[in-house]
Structure 1
Amino acid sequence: MIRFFRRLHNYYYIFTALLTLALFYPLLWFYSRKQSRYPTLNKLRRVCCYISSTASGIFFNVTEQEPVDWSRTYIVCPNHTSNLDILAMCIAVKGNYHFMSKAELANTPFFKIFAKTVDIPVNRESKISSFKAFKKAAENLKQGQTLIIFPEGKIGDEYPPILEEFKSGPFRLAIELKIPILPITSLNTWHILHDSGFKRGSRPGICDIFIHKSIETAHLTINDADLLKDEVYNLINQKFMSADLPNAVTMKSVSVG
């Protein structure tokens, strides 16, 4: 019976997401036509995420280890256990940003308009596609657009989830461009909606998002990329493993950053 209601909630969540997208689509389409309009497109994306999640009873509690200077450009590295992580990043990250995401999202209704404009789709099985994607990301970063990239590159099959091995690309790019890394731990989105939700459904609740202190890279060389990767992995893994899941869906004060 519980699984039935969780699956029912997941369909309702998808419905609210598609309905919100349909209502905002004329504005999204207009602001996706020119790169100069992308900052406004991102603001609209944040609004869509907030409305669709709130309508489904899903909220985001964002905590910063220390105040983040959102006027700076970052490479944001979150863990990835749920499709809700994308919404969480849209709400938690301020300023102009773009995602590097899997190419399949370019074929889904909710993400298509973003994947084919402001974001960078990449086929991670193709070295050529990855090379082009990181080249484009470097260009965007130089223009002051924060990059959000999930360094695991996938949502793992394990349940409960574990932190998968990180790819080196984001950390090499951060060192090459001397851009700080901003680690973010999504503590319990998987408890509310794991992966796409089609297998285990979803439920209302509060997603706790923790933004770690940024890590400067100006003093690092490319030979330090693996050390930087390990440092970020350990930070996120330690925080993720400390999550207090029994409190993940209890009511408490909520902030959206």
Structure 2
Amino acid sequence: MQGFFKLLSWLYTGWCLFWFLLIFILLYPIVFISLQKEEWKIVVHYCNRIWGRIFFFMAGMPLTITYEAKLDPKKAYVFCANHFSYLDIALMGTVIKNYFAFLGKSSVKNVPLFGYMFAKAHIQVDRSDKGSRTKALTRSIKALKSGRSIMIFPEGGIFSTNFPQMVQPFKDGAFSMAVENQVPIVPISLVDNYKVMPEIRMVWHPIRVIFHAPIETKGKTKKDIEDLKRQVYEVIQPTLDKYRD
């Protein structure tokens, strides 16, 4: 019986992969053209949202989004979410309404087609290279000053070995750029992604995303970074624990 369910899981994974790639390929000509000028890149943001919405619909995964406070779609925020699954990136591109840039690993650029889009539309960082980290932080601050939000996983990658326990300590980047620009930090709880895609193989499960109330940084300085890290952790982690199955 266990083998049968495993087979179903692999078939479901194949179905999801088919739709994931098909939708991406169909939208890619528009994405490619939109990447050629800075003022056109916002079109990529809308394409990604369409891509994600169709994908989760075809995968048959109910997507529930909860907002604990109203967010201004035209305002710049630093969005911080837990990171337990490769599905997280696609989901963030689907549910965040604000025009934003990911701050993510430079290794993504090696993925065919997707890597080109990521490199042109978002911000890459090689965490092993101090110069790359500095450059990425500078680009992120510039994006925030222009009114574009930043999405970042403060754990720095998928490092947890005990889901849904987040890895500590958080990286400084998200909090440094928020303080530098005095923009709010929005904690996001991705409740179910590690249940859907704990590895390469996918399992059907409803998906819940919770946008928590923004944490203000006005008047904060670099001395407050550790406290901001604690606040974000103490918002997300109890939520993940609450919905643990």
| Fold match (TM-score > 0.5) | yes
Is the Cα–Cα contact under 8 Å of residues 21 and 110 in structure 1 kept in the other structure?
no
For residue 243 of structure 2, what is the amino acid of its counterpart? A
The answer as to 2:188 corresponding to 1:184 is yes
Report the Cα distance in structure 1 between the residues aligned to 2:216 and 2:59, rounded to whole angstroms: 38
1:207 aligned partner: 207
Structure 1 Cα separation of the partners of residues 115 and 33 of structure 2:
14
Is 1:151 equivalent to 2:167 in the alignment? no
For 1:52, the equivalent position in structure 2 comes to 55
Aligned residues of 1:18 and 1:110 also touching (Cα < 8 A)? no
Distance 1:14 1:158 in 2: 25
Task: Give the deviation of 1:244 after TM superposition.
Answer: 4.8
Under a length normalisation based on structure 1, what TM-score does the superposition of the two structures give?
0.89
| 1:31 and 2:34 aligned | yes
| SS class of match (1:148) | strand
> Among residues 111, 114, 137, which one is paired with 1:111 in the alignment?
114
CA distance 1:67–1:157, change in 2 (3 Å): closer
Q: Which consecutive unaligned segments of at least 5 residues does structure 2 have? A: none
Find the partner of 2:165 among 149, 162, 167: 162
* Aligned residues of 1:156 and 1:162 also touching (Cα < 8 A): no
Distance in 1 (alpha carbons) for counterparts of 2:116 and 2:134: 23
Secondary structure of 2:155's counterpart equals coil
Separation (CA, whole Å) in 2 of partners of 1:203 and 1:235: 27
Aligned equivalents of 1:218 and 1:44: distance in 2? 33
Contact 2:176 2:222 in 1 (8 A): yes
Paired residue for 1:173? 177
CA distance in 1, matches of 2:202, 2:70: 32
Shift of the 95–160 alpha-carbon distance from structure 1 to 2, 3 Å rule, reads: closer
Q: Distance in 2 between matches of 1:144 and 1:111?
A: 25
Q: Retained in 1: the 8 A contact 2:160–2:166?
A: no
Q: Which moved more, 1:16-25 or 1:206-215?
A: 16-25
Shift in Å, 1:227: 0.6
Q: Which residue of 2 aligns with 1:251?
A: none
Q: Deviations over 1:154-183 (max 9, x none)?
A: 112515342112111111111111111011
**1:101 corresponds to:** 104
**Structure 1 runs not aligned, ≥5 long:** 246-257
Work out whether residues 141 and 180 of structure 2, in 8 Å CA contact, stay in contact via their aligned partners in 1.
no
| Distance of aligned partners of 1:8 and 1:159 in 2 relative to their CA distance in 1, 3 Å threshold | farther
Taking only aligned residues, the RMSD between alpha carbons, in angstroms, comes to 1.5
Residues 78 and 184 of structure 1 are in contact (CA less than 8 Å); yes or no, is this contact kept in structure 2?
Answer: yes
CA distance in 1, matches of 2:82, 2:160: 14
Aligned length: 241
- Do structure 1's residue 3 and structure 2's residue 6 form an aligned pair? yes
Matches within 5 A, 1:235-246: 235-245=235-245
- Kindly indicate whether the alpha-carbon contact (under 8 Å) linking 1:62 and 1:209 is maintained by their aligned counterparts in 2: yes
**Deviation (angstroms), 1:77:** 0.3
Q: Which runs of 4+ in 1 moved over 6 A?
A: none
Counterpart in 1 of 2:17?
14
Q: Provide the rounded CA distance (Å) in 2 between the counterparts of 1:209 and 1:11.
A: 24
Deviation at 1:126, TM superposition (A): 1.3
Partners in 1 of 2:138 and 2:175 — Cα distance? 14
Corresponding residue of 1:222: 222
Q: CA deviation at 1:7?
A: 2.4
- 1:178 counterpart letter in structure 2: Q
Change (3 A) 1:110 1:4: farther
Letter in 1 for 2:204: P
Aligned to 1:255: none
